Amino acid sequence: MLATAEALATLLAAARPIAGTESVPTLDALNRTLSADVTSPLDVPPMNTSSMDGYAIRTADLTALRASTLPISQRIPAGHAPEPLKPGTAARIFTGATVPPRADAIVMQEQAEAAGDEVTILHNPQAGEWITAQGADIRNGSVILPAGTRLTPQALGLAASVGCAELEVRRRVKVAVFFTGDELTMPGEPLKPGAIYNSNRFTLRGLLEKLGCEVTDYGIVSDKLDATRATVREAAAAHDLILTCGGVSVGEEDHVKPAVEAEGRLAMWQIAMKPGKPLAFGVVRRAAAGEDSAAALAPEAAETFFIGLPGNPVSSFATFLLFVRPFVLRLAGVQTVAPRALSLRADFTQSKADRRNEFLRARINPAGGLDLFPNQSSAVLTSTVWGDGLIDNPPNHAIQAGETVRFIPFSELLN
């Protein structure tokens, strides 16, 4: 079995950014990946602006050590072009408004007393006080978002702040997903003896859609080798990745592994982690790819990536977050795919160590430490909703209360 770090390195070494880009409206670009740098065509702000409601003045017009009364020569709301400030006067100005030429400071209204057409300045400001200089945020010609950036809401706002109505992004990663197991039943159908509801279909599709993938769901495939091979062949023709759940172990009814080996090859199988040991990675040939489907994918690619996840719900959830997520992001052109981890105190004791790398469901308590979900079985999906993230516990390590552990929040793994 491969160590988790070695397994992840194997996947990321194989991942290559998909070909194909498109221009999309900035309003519709959330979670897409930039295929080209975004360069600002202007300064932000494009002029000197006031940071406060108050009065624009020339510091040279104020008398030191005592209040100065100045006539108000103009009123400047945001969005209006001011006149140059007349010497010996003040301009009433509002937050975000353009500072008039010749003014070199803003006195906020709390430090002034207005009466009719005059204002008494009660504060002697320094030159530049409460003025946001032109280009203080962004300089004309600077790269504000590099290629490979996954677009967050704040990144969209930044692009809009320099006038970008459209953005060049990579096309969506095309993922085919299917599930194996004659015991699987969809919610809404009668639950026969020995059957279980297919929760993994909902979890994995949701995770893929959250990553911005274009998902084709082949549903539940029967536990037969020929049916599994046929689905794998069809899925390979028009997708960048085939993701399966179940059927990658060594049982007589586990047909995914032999199907992939017949239609392609496996580069990795089984990882020394708990939960999630039976994870497989390889490629499937696109021998039957049609002209239209091939054009939608990288023209030089003759293979589709394959990742097979275990069937237990926590195992599939954890392996997706730790392996599929970074792999898909790398296909989408994102360079930084590692989740940020926290060093937190364990407020529990787990005296039994495991020879595998454990990923334990835990949550942050009000004291800032970690509580452990009492049942760490790979079948207990409740733990993934109860928890705030995963403790990355090294092999052969028992955890003692009070020690510092590595904690990966779900907020990072679901990002």
342-413: CATH superfamily: MoeA, C-terminal, domain IV (2.40.340.10)
Distances (CA, A) of 165 to 47, 120, 333, 403: 21, 45, 22, 50
Using an 8 Å Cβ cutoff, are 146 and 169 in contact? Answer: no
pLDDT tier at 291 (50, 70, 90 boundaries)? very low
pTM here is: 0.86
Using the predicted structure, report yes or no on whether residue 290 has a pLDDT greater than 60: no
pLDDT tier at 277 (50, 70, 90 boundaries)? confident
Using the predicted structure, report yes or no on whether residue 352 has a pLDDT greater than 70: yes
- For residues 34-59, give the mean pLDDT: 97
Cβ neighbours, 10 Å, residue 119: 24
User: In this structure, what are the phi and psi dihedrals at residue 65, rounded to the nearest 5 degrees?
Assistant: 70, 0
Using the predicted structure, report yes or no on whether residue 89 has a pLDDT greater than 90: yes
Give residue for tokens 């994102």: 334
- For residues 227-232, give the mean pLDDT: 94
Calpha distance 382→183 (Å, rounded): 21
pLDDT tier at 223 (50, 70, 90 boundaries)? confident
Fold for domain 23-44+136-170? Molybdopterin biosynthesis moea protein, domain 2 (3.90.105)
Rg (CA), the chain: 30
Q: How would CATH label the architecture of 49-132?
A: Beta Complex (2.170)
pLDDT tier at 335 (50, 70, 90 boundaries)? confident
Using the predicted structure, report yes or no on whether residue 270 has a pLDDT greater than 80: yes
**Taking the mean position of all CA atoms in its chain, how far away is CA 252?**
39
pLDDT, mean over the chain: 92
Domain parsing of the chain, residue ranges: 4-20+171-331, 23-44+136-170, 49-132, 342-413
Predicted pLDDT at 255: 82
Predicted pLDDT at 253: 55
Using the predicted structure, report yes or no on whether residue 119 has a pLDDT greater than 90: yes
188 burial (CB, 10 Å; 0-12 / 13-18 / 19+) is exposed
Predicted pLDDT at 295: 42
Q: Do domains 23-44+136-170 and 49-132 have the same CATH topology?
A: no
Calpha distance 28→334 (Å, rounded): 18
In CATH, the number for domain 4-20+171-331 is: 3.40.980.10
Using the predicted structure, report yes or no on whether residue 70 has a pLDDT greater than 70: yes
pLDDT tier at 248 (50, 70, 90 boundaries)? low
